[in-house]
Chain A
């Protein structure tokens, strides 16, 4: 573990937290005096399962509590939503079959999940997890938290990054930076203190795989190349085991339960437990008990490794490509760092060791290292850490559609970001006033093989003969890996308006509407909490009076006084179960007034008793 030169001279300013928004688990961390620390939840656990379950009243239950609901109400409980971020319905057809929750009718460019009649986009679900982490941090740090660094897979495209940023906004967080997960991990390791060298970070998480190759030099972390697969991770291993177990069960029980959400979740839980056990044990048992029926099967590590070998091998192609792009051979790699829960699997470790011919670093917990790195990046942004600087790259080439459905590349993959490109456009028809620019991301030559990012409409051009107009368009990828486009008319020098139509994302207006909605929801949450608090207060005074009635002081009161107390008691009972906290508090106050004499009497008798026992 490295040491950090931290300058807290600017104490008192707002703290920026680092968040690892994972497929399976999410964490929030901050920079403490001694280095980055993960913030525990009220139950003491550092990992918050990235699961959100919709309650009847429209609120969400998140984390471990939601995990229990996977089996009780599978159709309303969402997990692995990160795999749906920034994607269209057509992209996820295959895996949606395995999810117990449904895609809402009419979802087009943005997926909408139908949870018991109400629909939610993936950023809204992620926002539930982020809000929980925000509250966790606020409770722990005892201050309001509004700014965050959030990590994303390095191989996330523009739409997936934008969706993550949207989730932050909906949760009430200003996302100051999206930082790539493998790069964040390298920051946490602080390898720069020991080494000037080249580091490979292999990050196999729940749903995504990244490989990044960095050069470290005097505190500069320069990413040379990155590659990956945003649809490859522990989930794929779970799904492999799951489908085998379900087939087995169909034979054994004579019933196919694969369409039953609760059954599938029960089996899923069991195969995950077996998978995790196999990281340390030579054999494990898949143990399912569902509505009185049992299924058991032993699985050896050898069998397990044969089952998942092709999944692990799929990570090696991106590793080799990243090496080629960095213009390096495996022996140039000085250090290898493992990140992500799936790197606990021995087969994964040995595959990495063989490829890079180096023993990987595993000193830091692979579940926590990304969040710790996010906290370091947060401290860099706040100025608390000044010796480190991250220079990251864009994982995918950016291009525009040209004649014949061919993509012309403007910014190549592995370009250090911020990166930009300028292109001059003209019109093809006399008097044309609009030009539509189709922007794509990907390495292939044809539009149909690349990922459509957005269509930019240049509007309000001077009507001119075809080919005479000249509009210069500047494409800029910022430090978050997110694209923006500006344009100006080269003849007039005027800034040209650009209308953005994201292909797989929410418009600004949609995000704004979701933020408003979440404020309303937060208000409802606030109300519910106030009612709960008022009831707790009522419980306290009711218990105190119950006790007082057994005291002599109660008998010292006049009949009238006793009746007054009983009346006030009844009135509090009447409103106790209502949802108006003001009313409850009002009745508590009245009861308090009615019992003032009683309290005085008790105090006096207590004093008398105390004096009795004391020799003066």
Chain B
């Protein structure tokens, strides 16, 4: 069972989808994934190999760390999509989340103004900031719905090229998502700093 991972130091990190014996789909049933995770945990976990040979203990440690890493990445839709993008050769570096998406230019400008005013001690902008934060969080929810939609579209494509095209769209959505999430994070940071 472990032979595939015996020579782990030479082998690249195994593919997470292969590890779970799952087709390369972006939409995954979380209950099914959890079931597989629990069953494989019972199989691989170091507790099961405590009194076995040193070699078997090492394999079990290796296999269960891969299992846990794979589960952590695949169970969250966003990190799952990022993983698939990366494996498909897309660049998903943080840098891509730093350019302002054109359709958000106005909102971002207003937000930065409000944050500046807050920093200079003007508390009157608080209700406005709150409203802006709310709007951005709403956008995130909408994006998450869009992403799921795109996941299903991706999975329905017949050829690799077609899938690649959808992935490219998903990447754009994820970049937008990351940008907005950073904005919300910035607002939260300012508000906590003010409260502290």
Contacts and interface: CB of A to CB of B under 8 A. Distances in A.
A251 B27 CA distance: 72
Given A418-B61, A476-B61, A479-B46, A493 B51 contact: no
A495 B7 CA distance: 12
Interface in A375-425: 377, 380-383, 389-391, 415-420, 422
Most buried by B among A217, A218, A418, A420: A418
Contacts of A381: 47, 50-51
A415 B41 CA distance: 14
Contacts of B46: 418, 478-479
Contacts of B51: 381-383
Nearest to B66: A420
Interface string A199-239: 00000000000000000011010100000000000000000
A176 B51 CA distance: 9
B41 A418 contact: no
Interface in A266-323: none
Interface in B57-104: 61, 64-66, 68-69, 71-72
Given A419-B69, A476-B61, A478-B61, A176 B50 contact: yes
Interface residues of B, number: 20
B13 A422 contact: yes
A146 interface: no
B65 A476 contact: yes
A488 interface: yes
B69 A420 contact: yes
A220 B64 CA distance: 15
Given A416-B68, A418-B68, A479-B61, A486 B9 contact: yes
B50 A493 contact: no
B10 interface: yes
A122 B119 CA distance: 48
A146 B13 CA distance: 37
A177 interface: yes
A416 B61 contact: no
B47 A479 contact: yes
A101 to B, nearest CB: 37
B45 interface: yes
Nearest to A478: B61
A217 B45 contact: no
A218 B48 CA distance: 17
B45 A415 contact: no
A416 B72 contact: yes
A417 B68 contact: yes
Contacts of B68: 415-419
A389 B41 contact: yes
Given A479-B45, A488-B9, A177 B50 contact: yes
A377 B45 CA distance: 13
A381 B47 CA distance: 5
A354 to B, nearest CB: 23
A538 B51 CA distance: 46
A380 B66 CA distance: 22
Contact of B47 (A390, A416, A477): A390
Nearest to B68: A416
A301 B160 CA distance: 71
B134 interface: no
Interface in B13-49: 13, 38, 41-42, 45-48
A486 B42 CA distance: 26
Nearest to B71: A416
Given A177-B47, A177-B50, A383-B51, A419 B41 contact: no
A379 B104 CA distance: 59
A181 B9 CA distance: 34
Contacts of B72: 415-416, 419
B69 A391 contact: no
A126 B71 CA distance: 37
Contacts of B13: 422
B9 A391 contact: no
A17 B118 CA distance: 59
A415 B71 CA distance: 10
A419 B65 contact: yes
Nearest to B72: A415
B13 to A, nearest CB: 7
B18 to A, nearest CB: 17
A217 B38 contact: yes
B59 to A, nearest CB: 12
A477 B69 CA distance: 11
B114 to A, nearest CB: 24
A389 B9 contact: no
Contacts of B66: 420
A418 B65 contact: yes
B65 A389 contact: no
Contact of A389 (B10, B42, B71): B42
Contacts of B64: 418, 479
Nearest to A480: B46
Nearest to A420: B65
Nearest to B44: A418
Nearest to A378: B50
A493 B38 contact: no
A220 B38 contact: yes
B47 A380 contact: yes
A493 B10 contact: yes
26 contacts: A220-B38, A220-B42, A380-B47, A381-B47, A382-B51, A383-B51, A389-B47, A390-B47, A391-B41, A391-B45, A415-B68, A415-B72, A416-B71, A416-B72, A417-B68, A418-B61, A418-B68, A419-B72, A422-B13, A478-B46, A478-B61, A479-B45, A479-B61, A479-B64, A493-B10, A495-B9
The 4 A-B pairs with the shortest beta carbon distances in the complex, nearest first, are A418-B65, A381-B50, A416-B68, A420-B65
Given A381-B50, A416-B71, 18 more contacts: A176-B50, A177-B50, A380-B47, A389-B41, A389-B45, A415-B68, A415-B72, A418-B61, A419-B65, A419-B68, A419-B72, A420-B66, A422-B13, A476-B65, A479-B61, A479-B64, A488-B9, A493-B10
